[in-house]
Amino acid sequence: MVCAGELLFLQTQTKNQENPYMIVTTKDLFQHAYGKYAIGAYNINNLEQTIGLFRGNLGKKGSNDDALDGTTSAPFILQISRGARSYSDKRMLEALIRTADEVFPEVIFAVHLDHGTEEVCYDCIDSGFYSSVMIDASHEEFAKNIEITKRVVDKAHAKGVVVEAELGQLGGVEEDIVGSVKLTDPDQAAEFIEKTGVDSLAVAIGTSHGAFKFSGKQGLHFDVLEKIQKVAPKNFPLVMHGSSSVPKDWVERINNAGGKLKDASGVDEKQYLPAAKLGVTKINIDTDGRLVWCAIHREHFRDTPEDFDLRPAGKTFMKAYAEYIIHKNTMLGSAGQLESARGSLKGGKSSCGCACGR
Ligand code: G3H
Ligand code: 13P
Ligand code: ZN
């Protein structure tokens, strides 16, 4: 069996022999992070987000040509939702990411499908570009969720691609499903992992998608997380969706520039590391990036109403987004881990055990 790293390396080495792409599997990243820090999994849709994301993960605040900052650089997961695939064109995004990988050769990242259906998972597995897919059948009955997830795992593993699945249901809006909260049952989690052979599990422990997560005193259910970690196999990676912090200052900036986001709230960033200690190895962030985008563009056109050019606001956004990623990685504990992760991948500690060098 080929591993994803080897597969991707073989597919891309003709493009750039000297400088192979550093797309790895999420599994490789999880091995380095487990129990110590969480890998940031960031959704992207367009060019400006991609540039900001790559710069930020190399600790570059101002421009592509800034020197890499080892104290803040981080391995990361780049997530693509079904909505992002259809926003421009799935091939457009793929080309953008491959090019970013050439422009920023020091990066280490995984390419992951976020909230996939079975059909889209197969498309990504067959594309040879994604190193990881999420099959989200969490809205199905338990037995059906197992059945669908297992089918995807079998097809993905045969091609060296790793799989995340979800058990329980988050609140909030996710693609076309309006969710009602159903926390993950730890006993079901153990059975689910065993029967599906899945590589990581997204758990519902109180978070929800979007900018309106909690009202009053709600928060994360660490008791449930602790139980899940106890019954899961040793070092089994758990995933926290809906983990944007919806920062008050960014919401305020949006509202001061004409926005109307009332009662927006998110996950307390100080809870990321305690969650990581309990096995949460991947933390999903999408909404925060949208808030940064919205604030920068609203402020720009409020302050320069005579402007109609897309580039000045785009430049400000890329810089602000890179800085935001650095901040987020600091809270996740992944900032400063890039070189150590590289060493561990090169040292043959890759899960596949093959000679792909990742
Ligand atoms: O969990 C959902 C992600 O935030 C993706 O959102 O479907 O609007 O791209 P999207
Ligand atoms: P947020 O809406 O909290 O950013 O969550 C994103 C997410 O879970 C993507 O899968
Ligand atoms: Zn999600």
Residue 258's SS3 state is coil
Short-list 266, 318, 258, CA closest to 287: 266
Residue-wise pLDDT for 185-210, tens only, equals: 999 999 999 999 999 999 999 999 99
Task: Give the nearest ligand 1 atom to 287 CA.
Answer: 4
Dist. CA 252–CA 135, nearest whole Å: 36
pLDDT for res 153? 98
Kindly state if the Cβ of 116 falls inside 6 Å of ligand 2.
no
Alpha carbon distance 169, 184 (integer Å): 7
- pLDDT score at 172: 55
Structural domains of the chain in order of their starting residue, each with its CATH number: 4-337 (3.20.20.70)
This prediction's pTM: 0.92
Verify whether ligand 2 is closer than 6 Å to residue 114 (CB atom): yes
- Name the average pLDDT for the chain: 90
Query: What is the residue whose two structure tokens read 């987020």?
Result: 328
Q: Which atom of ligand 2 is nearest to the CA of 285?
A: 4
pLDDT tens track for 259-314: 999 999 999 999 999 999 999 999 999 999 999 999 999 999 999 999 999 999 99
Residues whose beta carbon lies within 6 Å of some atom of ligand 1: 43, 81, 83-84, 114-115, 174-175, 209, 286
Closest to 293 (Cα-Cα) out of 310, 312, 317 = 317
pLDDT at position 345 is: 87
The protein residue with its alpha carbon nearest to ligand 2, atom 9, reads: 284
Strand 177-179 to 172-174 pairing: antiparallel
Cα-to-centroid distance, 241 and ligand 2 (Å) = 5
Separation between Cα atoms, residue 46 and residue 58, nearest integer Å: 19
Amino acid of residue 94: E
Query: Is 296 within 8 Å of 44 (Cβ atoms)?
Result: no
Å from CA of 129 to ligand 1 middle? 20
Q: Report residue 315 as tokens.
A: 């430049």
pLDDT over 80 (residue 110): yes
Q: What is the DSSP letter of 97?
A: H
Give me 45's structure tokens: 């849709």
Q: How far apart are CA 223 and CA 200, in angstroms?
A: 19
Give the distance (Å) from ligand 2 centre to CA of residue 180.
15
Residue length of the chain: 358
The string of pLDDT tens digits covering residues 223-266 is 999 999 999 999 999 999 999 999 999 999 999 999 999 999 99
Strand partners, 80: 113
